[in-house]
Structures are given as C-alpha cells and as structure tokens.
A and B are shown apart, each in its own frame.
Chain A
Amino acid sequence: MHWLFEPGFFSSGPVHVALVIGGVSGVVSALVGVFTVVRGQAFGGHALTDVSTAGGSGALLLGLTPLTGFVAGGLLGGAAMEALGTEHERGRDVATGIVLGAATGLAALFLYLDATSGATSGTAQQVLFGSIFVVQSSILPAVVVLAALTVALVAALYRPLVLSTVSPEIAAARGVRVRLIGVLYMAALAMSVGLSSLTIGTVLSTALLIGPPAAALQITRSMGRALLAAALIGVATTWLGVLLSYDSFDWGSSHEAMPVSFFVVALVFAAYLAAGVSRRRPARLRDAEVR
C-alpha cells in the first residue's frame, strides 16, 4: 500500500487535523445538501458561499479566525435573503441574486484590503480555496461543535422540512410554520457552508454541498438512503482528496503539493458521473434490489 499511503501520512499532525475537518465537513455538507438539492435551493446555497467569502476575508481583517467570519457572514446573508425574498419563487431568486452581488463586492474589497495590509500572506488563497493543511488543531473543538449543532438542527427540522418541501400548502394546512422552518434551514445551510469553506474554500464549497447529494439522489429512492449515501460519498471524496493532495507532493520534481480542493472537486464530479451511469441500468434490476 506504499504507493497509496505515502510514508508519514498517518503520523503527520496536519494530516490528522485535515482528516477530521474534511470528514466532518464532508458529512455535514452532504446531509444539509440533500435538502438543498431537493428544495431546489442550489442557487441560494451558492450565494451563501459568496457571503462566506466576504465574511471570511472580513474576519481576517479584524484578526479573527476565518471560520467565525464564514459562519457569521453566512447567517447574515441567509437572513438578508429571507428578508428580501417574497413568497414567490422568482422573488426569492432575485433576492438571492442581489445578496450574492453585494457579498461579492464586499469580498473583493476585503480581499484587496487583506492583501494590501500585508498582515497575513496568502489570505485570499486561504479563503477562496481552503486551508485544510494549515489550520491550527486548536480550532477542532469549534469545528466539531458547529458540525454537531448543524446536524442537530437538521434532525430537529427533518419531518416538517420534508413535508413543506413536498407541499408548502399541505404543510401549512397541518399547522407547520413553513416560513420559519425555511429560515431555520437556511441557518443550518449557512453553518454547513462555513464548515466546508474551511476545508475546500468558499469557491468550491458549492461542489461539496451539491455534488454528493446529487450523486446520492440518483441512486436512492428514500430520504434515509439518500442521506446515508450522500454522507458516505462526502466523507470518501474529502478523505481521498486529502490523501491525494498529500501524495501529490512527491509527484513532480517541484515538490509542491497540489490543492486539496482540486482533488475533492474532481472526485465529487467523478462520483456524480458514476452514479449517473449506475442509474442507467435497467429499472427492473433496481426494483428487485429494493425488495
């Protein structure tokens, strides 16, 4: 197995931290993302990553950890989208677009200021493309707590969230406060985007949010299985991405590791294609398996 696990992989401190953060954010993104995909909120999820960019780069300006900024930015952005959006789908889309635009502008300003202030080198790189190998292990408790809170929130919302996704009308008639459930779900989404921004950066966290769930949804037909499959794909792609990035250090003569983000996103895309292929098997076969 030496060709796969380079010497030192399992004993390296940064690798341990990367595996924990990567695994945790892979699972959380996947679980939250199943609902994002099913609710047709991929655009909203993507907008939140831009808000996170502004938050993360702003946090660095203030001398805070990017994670704080990612999450705070996401929550504020989600709230802004909800406040601006009307009940109509089109209104939501427009509100999302407006928040996205404003956030991108802010991010551009903050990243410029980060770069010119010269306090931290490689800030933009860190925020946009992740910093999984350089994060301090002291952040682990915060990551784990945030992940647990996000999963707990989604678990608490589960049934009314599914019902209002199926039909807001039926849910409302059953006494579900559809709007409130939607807002709380946005909060969970913002927290999960914050986590994945830390792993693979804000630019690519959409891939982790949408990719594994989209793959899982192609090969499953019940919610429970979709969540399980998405989580497995999320963990597998991030861990494998970390491993390949570590290995890539020795691939060329330059001895520069290729970014984790690239590998994760490539693997997610491969998983999506593979799921698409397996779905094209005759329906009869799949039916037989379900029973």
Chain B
Amino acid sequence: MSTHQHGSEVLHLEGIDVWFGERHILDSVSFAIQPGEFTGLIGANGAGKTTLFRVILGLQRPSAGTVHIEPDASGHRSVGYVPQKTHLARDIPLRARDLVALGIDGHRLGLPRRSSARTRAVDEMLDAVDARRFANARVGELSGGEQQRVLIAHALISRPRLLLLDEPLANLDLGSVEEMIRLIDRIVREQDVAVLLSAHEMNPLLPVMDRIAYIAGGRVASGTTEEVVRPSVLSGLYGHHVDVVRVHGRVLVVAGPGSHDEEHLASDAAHVFP
C-alpha cells in the first residue's frame, strides 16, 4: 500500500466488502479519518456499524478491501475500542482504577505491575473522563454512564491515535447524552486523538462532529454534514428518494414519495431516518 499517499491519515479504508452468507453487509466502503478529528458514524439498526468497527480492528476479515492504520511514533498500530454492549459482571473484583490500568498492558502475559508512575497515569486518565469520584468502586456496580467513562479511560490510557466508540450514547438519558458528547469532544481536543463514534441519531452530535460517515444500504458517504446530509447523496445510499428537512436546528431524514416507508411518515416519527 502506498503509505505516503495518505500519510497524514490515522485511518484509511479502501473498498471494504463484507458478506455474511448471501447478505452484502458492507459494499465497497471507503473513507479516511484525519488526526484529531471527530467523525460520527451514523446509521440505523443493522446498518453495519459494528461490523465496520470489527473490520477496522481486524476482528472481521473483509472479503475485499484494505484497512490502513497509521502507526504511531513507536511503530504501534494502536486503536482504542469501546464495544457496543460491554456487560461488566457485578461480581468481578475489579475497581474502576484496576480496569483503567489494564488498558496499559492488560494484553501482556504475567502479573500486573505496580508503580507510582502507573498510578499517576491512571489517576490522570480518570480525571480526564471525570471518573475520579468512583475510582475505587467495583466496575460492575457502576451505572451505565459511569462504566462508559471507565471504559473510555481504559481505551485511552495507551495513547492510541484513533478511538472507536460503538454507540456510547445508547442507554443514556437525554441529559447524560449531552454530557457524554461534551466529554468525548473535550477528549478529542485534549488528548489529540481521532474519534469514530457510531450512533443512530445525528442531531445530538451536530455541534461537535467534524465529519460524518453516513452508513445505509451497506454503503458509506463521508464528508462534512453539509456535503453528506443532502437529498442527492442520501437518496443514492438508500436507493430511493429521501428528503432532508431542517427544522428548529434539527436535521430529519425522511423518505420521499414512492418509497416503502412513505405510509409511516405522517404519524410516526420513529420512521424518520437517523
């Protein structure tokens, strides 16, 4: 691969294809992420967001296409990851700080190391995600939003250049969603890490997203929201006409005349696209 060509990108996907049996889940997906950028990966249930993350992480082998992750200064291709559904069992004897410390070298064989430098690094990371308060609580006993912070700290402590967050806003109430978005936005700036965050709903992310990767019909359109969230682009992804409506500072993607979803639109806001 021609590394020099996208040397300043932390991630470059080219022509990714994923099939599950007869189903074409990802269809020639290409996009790139620049350092320190906040990208929202927006798509409905089953659109292929988690699959795309798994491809980036090397957990799912695509049937075609290449994934290029720019190594950091020390030659590591490290990517931080917080999966969509992380069930932390109540009885795991692990405090929040222990889980964060595992982010440093939890993948290596042997017993955990202890040093004041490590404690300091863990404390700093806990501060960065506002989790110092519950540093000594068992992770299984924390709330969903608190666990999310700890997992983000776990993913960040190894200083990756790219952080993948799979639906970190699901299961949070409205106030917590805004708080979490502000937190992630702050992390992007302070820690100088690029974030790819998946979500169903783009509106809460509009103020902070640098770019959007809109996924539908197995394909991805990426760019600024102005470039992507337009009837012509999204209609191409969905394969039928959709309209983009901007009301009260919100963006709604709605199926146009002639689509299968037409009948739902008048009464049921849930059938508005994400």
A residues near B, CB below 8 A?
Answer: 34, 37-38, 40, 155-160, 162-163, 165-167, 169-176, 217, 220-226, 287, 290-291
Contact = CB atoms under 8 A, between A and B. Distances in A.
A173 B81 contact: yes
A173 B102 CA distance: 13
Interface string B100-141: 001001111111100000000000000000000000111100
Q: Specify which of A40, A166, A221 lies most central, judged by the most chain B CB atoms within 10 Å of its CB.
A: A166
A158 to B, nearest CB: 5
B107 A171 contact: yes
7 contacts: A159-B111, A160-B108, A170-B86, A173-B57, A174-B107, A225-B93, A291-B136
B81 A38 contact: no
A155 to B, nearest CB: 6
A38 B106 contact: no
A38 B102 contact: no
Given A156-B109, A158-B110, A159-B105, A221 B79 contact: no
B111 A158 contact: yes
A164 to B, nearest CB: 9
Given A167-B86, A221-B138, A290-B136, A174 B95 contact: no
Contacts of A37: 91
A170 B152 CA distance: 11
B88 interface: yes
A160 B109 contact: yes
Interface of B: 57, 59, 79, 81-83, 86, 88-89, 91-95, 98-99, 102, 105-112, 136-139, 151, 154-155
B109 A159 contact: yes
What are the 8 closest A-B residue pairs judged by CB atoms, nearest first? A163-B106, A174-B107, A226-B93, A169-B83, A173-B81, A173-B57, A176-B107, A221-B138
Given A169-B83, A170-B86, A163 B93 contact: no
B94 A166 contact: yes
Contacts of B79: 173
Contacts of B99: 166
B108 A165 contact: no
A82 B146 CA distance: 35
A165 to B, nearest CB: 7
Contact of B106 (A160, A220, A225, A290): A160
B239 to A, nearest CB: 32
B105 A223 contact: no
Given A159-B112, A167-B83, A221-B95, 6 more contacts: A157-B109, A158-B111, A159-B111, A160-B108, A166-B102, A174-B107
Contacts of B111: 155, 158-159
Contacts of A34: 93
Contacts of B105: 159
A222 B94 contact: yes
Given A156-B110, A159-B109, A163-B102, A170 B92 contact: no
Q: Specify which of B86, B89, B92 lies most central, judged by the most chain A CB atoms within 10 Å of its CB.
A: B92
B16 to A, nearest CB: 17
B59 A172 contact: yes
Contact of A159 (B57, B82, B110, B154): B110
B86 A169 contact: yes
Q: Specify which of A163, A169, A222, A225 lies most central, judged by the most chain B CB atoms within 10 Å of its CB.
A: A169
Nearest to A229: B93
A175 B79 CA distance: 11
A172 B106 CA distance: 11
A155 B113 CA distance: 12
Contacts of A170: 81-83, 86, 151, 154-155
Contact of A222 (B86, B93, B109): B93
Contacts of B137: 221
Nearest to B85: A169
B128 to A, nearest CB: 19
A14 to B, nearest CB: 36
Given A170-B81, A170-B83, A221-B93, A159 B102 contact: yes
Contacts of A162: 94, 102, 106
A34 B93 CA distance: 9
A220 B136 CA distance: 12
Given A174-B106, A174-B107, A175-B107, A166 B92 contact: yes
Contact of B108 (A38, A159, A220, A226): A159
Nearest to A181: B109
B88 A166 contact: yes
Contacts of A287: 136
Contacts of B59: 169, 172-173
Contacts of A167: 83, 86, 88
A159 B91 contact: no
B86 A223 contact: no
A222 B140 CA distance: 12
A222 B93 CA distance: 5
A157 B110 CA distance: 6
B228 to A, nearest CB: 27
A119 to B, nearest CB: 44
A158 B89 contact: no
